[in-house]
Chains A and B, each alone.
Chain A
């Protein structure tokens, strides 16, 4: 087990390094000139040249990458002489557009995305899995057919459409939730809830449909396994057979899917944040793309990808805890 974890962590670190290189390269060979983007209308060739030098963009690429990585771990100082500014650890670059260090931008936006992701995640996981279990237990009956039919419909609607529907009916027409927009939980739990409930549902709907189908199929497959028959042959109550023997094995693959999906939303729910005007990472990513704000684009991509790589590791470790056979690997 120990060796397994060490191996997996090393693999993860290598992957993060490769990822940072690729992202870095990708956004530095883009046609847009990062130095040109630093000054907008006030640009003169002299200013551009000065800024290029300040940002270190006149260094060779590998030197730039080295500085970038160093910035993450020890911080970085841009410019020289009197015109310097510090970028504290972890420095992911400086956004001229926003006039702020990218790390601070991300730190400011992340909590909203995290709340959106966590609420949506809980909602879709709980509803999807329990609906899936019910469908599996009622296999072939009308309950099963109705659930699977609804899941198919839910699954085929894009989440922005569901979001717009919710927005239109629940908020605009029926006035069931306030227009106040995002409010901190500590300021008003009620407004906080009203701002987030619709985005949660919008995110959860499609996912719940997917998890319901996944859970149902997993459960049906598991309940047909030989060890389930053994459990029944022992004389266990059906409740125990399903709960202790069926769910344990049937839900294991769902852990993988759930971990990765959560990481994915944590990286920014681009569409949902846009539809509900929530100021999270997804919105930051979109704004930075529209503004060609390269340091911010690089950083948001890097952060989103890091979530996925880290959750991959967590999921695999969880797997090893759930399934004793994995420990050998």
Chain B
């Protein structure tokens, strides 16, 4: 396989706070190819947004310690200058944020905000930038784009604003698009339209997409590869088929709940798992998931308590962080999921 377009290696983000150091992202690695979608799932506070923002260079380096490596088309960004990362932001990599209602500036017209995004990176006239903006609004399915350019964010519905955000992200033809829960604030029909839109755009431009979501239906619809995060770490990284039919990590099993199959999984929210997410300040010595894991007794010698499991590859595109034996994991998964529904793929 060619070199991945985005390659994140051992990314670590620590926020010093009054209560201690918050290990928001703790050695996360993943990679995405062009034309491919990687989904990041995990419950609230697992570090998904911080990971995305660290990749984009949007975490203030003064308020956090960031280590590890982020390669964008071979260029390392964590050690790059601020100015270097800034010049890539909005151009080669772009991001769509969770809340479209508050992510647009309330005082400036849509047109002005879009034109601004173009003109940072392209030396063209305002008229030309307005033209590009209008075309992009049209492209993302906003009716009457000419008029919308003059509108202010408060004139638009939530779905329209999210489309504007998407249009804004795409203005400079980015090769990497990070979408942080792009549909959470929207109703189901609009969600489906937005996802359809992202898929269409990916097909057209070959964009690499990192999609952060709580929605397993969206994952099933769009993702090629899935990263499951827990307590700031990747606990499982697998192809879409493996995640739904051969998940190997107890936390993933919990997430998928009792209806893990792709066809039934549509628009299922992640199942809440009994217990509290771990404190990111005092991490347990052993497995982070240990306090909530019903299977730790199957691992001999208290290893779950004492020894931190590594993320171990089980195949070329599947890696798992768990002390259970691979055979054991497969057995439990098969039991929990019923017979693997291979025939449906």
Contacts and interface: CB of A to CB of B under 8 A. Distances in A.
B285 interface: no
B203 interface: no
A322 B120 contact: no
B343 to A, nearest CB: 44
Looking at chain B's contact residues, is the secondary structure mostly helix, strand, loop, or mixed?
mixed
Contact of A234 (B99, B152, B168): B168
B106 A229 contact: no
Contacts of A323: 106-107
A41 interface: no
B95 interface: yes
A323 B152 CA distance: 10
Interface string B83-106: 000111111001101010011111
Name the interface size band of chain B. Answer: 20 to 34
B154 interface: yes
B128 interface: no
A328 B94 CA distance: 33
Looking at chain A's contact residues, is the secondary structure mostly helix, strand, loop, or mixed?
helix
Contact of A235 (B88, B106, B109, B165): B88
B103 A325 contact: no
Contacts of B99: 226
Given A229-B58, A230-B104, A235 B152 contact: no
Contacts of B90: 233-236
Given A232-B58, A234-B117, A226 B107 contact: no
Contacts of B53: 229
Nearest to A246: B105
A221 interface: no
Residue among A244, A245, A324, A328 with max Cβ neighbours from chain B (10 Å): A324
A225 interface: yes
A226 B87 contact: no
Contacts of B135: none
Interface of A: 225-227, 229-238, 244-245, 248-249, 252, 322-325, 328
6 contacts: A233-B94, A234-B89, A234-B117, A235-B89, A245-B105, A325-B106
Interface of B: 53, 56, 58, 86-91, 94-95, 97, 99, 102-107, 109, 116-117, 120-121, 152, 154, 165, 168-169
